[in-house]
Amino acid sequence: MSDFGRNERGQSHILAVLATAIAVVIVVGLLTAQEQLLGNAHQRRAGEAAVQAAGALVADEHLALVLSLRDDQGSPRDPTADELLQFLADPGLLERALAAARTLALENRATVPRAVSIVDRGDAIEVSVDTGALHRVTVDKVSCCRR
């Protein structure tokens, strides 16, 4: 070993360099962890926004369906079970809901949704968006008439 490492001044320099290296490793690790946490939170919020966009589209189209239906006397009526099933299974509705979710995801620079599902849950319609994680929103069904 040279004289540099043997005297007190040299040893203090070695310790200072070692402490600096350890501090750099710790800071880089903390910054990486923070970036991952913020990235995960961003993806989660973007997924929630995407499912809200898909849910809003389904709600609007469900309202349009209900407002378009009339009975034999021309009075407003709610959709039958078959009409509702046909509405929910419409490939066009699924495509439009997926397009709404994808548009919002792209605007947020987030994972683009792979699929949308729409399910009847009795008094509500459940809309799910798959971005690698599943995001869900429930949309209350509307009725043509006050009850």
| Tens digit of each residue's pLDDT, the chain (147 residues) | 555 556 777 778 788 888 888 877 877 777 776 777 666 777 888 889 899 999 999 999 999 999 999 999 999 999 999 999 999 999 999 999 999 999 989 888 888 899 999 999 999 999 999 988 899 999 999 988 765
Q: What is the extent of the structural domain holding 82? A: 3-140
55 neighbors 139 (Cβ within 8 angstroms): yes
- Total domains in the chain come to 1
Q: Tell me if 54 is assigned to some domain.
A: yes
And the tokens for 119? 């399910």
Answering whether pTM is above 0.75, one says no
Q: Tell me if 107 is assigned to some domain.
A: yes
Torsion of CA 97, 103, 104, 106, to 10 degrees: 140
Q: Tell me if 146 is assigned to some domain.
A: no
Q: Tell me if 106 is assigned to some domain.
A: yes
- Strands 134-140, 115-120: pairing is unpaired
Rounded Cα gap, residues 20 and 17, in angstroms:
5
**Beta bridge mates, 127:** 118, 137
